Structure 1
Amino acid sequence: CPNNQCCSQHGYCGYSKEYCGIGCLKSYGKCGTDFRCGEGFGLCNKTGYCCSKYGYCGNTKEYCGAGCQKSFGHCNK
């Protein structure tokens, strides 16, 4: 996909969670979201970032500690 867009599981390009979230095709564009993560949003797209229990990406203990969603980003434990 052009302009750093995500490629949806159906092969369409865009920037919203429908394109960048679950099922996103990494081979054809970027995947993940900058701030939201988790079910319905997908992965945190910055290396080393964690998905908090509230569904936001960050790299401090509030995001990476208790309740961190390891399926959607890095976690401390």
Structure 2
Amino acid sequence: MNTASIVAQLAAAGWFKSSYSAAENECVEMARTPQWVGVRDSKDLSGPSLIVPTTAFAAFVDGVKGDGVNHTA
């Protein structure tokens, strides 16, 4: 699967912001499909997006919640 196809799938899924940042413009937006999670800067909607497999994003979230992030790096 190529990047353009993944970006199109994320766009079709819809980008959203956290409800905690409803009135703010300094945050990130996310879009997700069963296979991919995209993260982008809400101030630069046509700019680059970080796209990772859902399993990798889930591992990242689990690490943050459990403080499994390496703070020395």
Is TM > 0.5 for Structure 1 vs Structure 2? no
| TM-score bucket of the superposed structures, by smaller chain | under 0.3
> TM-score, normalised to structure 1's length?
0.24
Instruction: Give the helix-richer structure, 1 or 2.
Output: 2
Instruction: Give the strand-richer structure, 1 or 2.
Output: 2
